[in-house]
Amino acid sequence: MSEAKVTTDHATIKTWAEQRGGVPAEVSGTAGKNDTGILRLDFEPKDSDLHQISWEQFFGKFDKKKLAFIYQDKTDDGTMSRFHKFVDRASTHH
């Protein structure tokens, strides 16, 4: 199985997403009055349940919620992978 990596580096996350055509997004209907909603990365075809946000909004929420980004560069057969998820940073320490 291809190894998953973990990062909190904004540039790494942004580059990984953009190489795959991903944009920062939030789940529609989950945002508070002054708060970004549940974070996602949206890829083609666009998900109608997601609302595109700026990278600034995305990383503001990412850091505020102390999230980490788990991702995979390539699948087992060597093709580009879109596998990723957001987890609590504390859960990534062994």
Would 11 be classed as within a structural domain? Answer: yes
- Total domain count, the chain: 1
The 10s digit of each residue's pLDDT in 61-89 is: 999 999 999 999 999 999 999 999 999 99
Note whether residue 16 is domain-resident.
yes
The domain containing residue 85 runs over which residues?
5-89
Mean pLDDT taken over the chain: 92
Residue 28 lies in a domain: yes
Tell me the pLDDT tens digit for each residue of 25-66: 999 888 877 778 899 999 999 999 999 999 999 999 999 999
Q: What is the pTM of this model?
A: 0.89
Residue 94 lies in a domain: no
Q: Does residue 32 form part of some domain?
A: yes
pLDDT value of residue 9 = 98
Q: Which residues of 14-44 are buried (b: 16+ CB within 10 A; e: fewer)?
A: bebbeeeebbbbbeeeebeeeebbebbbbee
Q: Of 18 and 4, which is predicted with more confidence? A: 18
User: Residue 3's Cα: distance from chain center in Å?
Assistant: 17
Does the pLDDT at position 1 exceed 60?
no
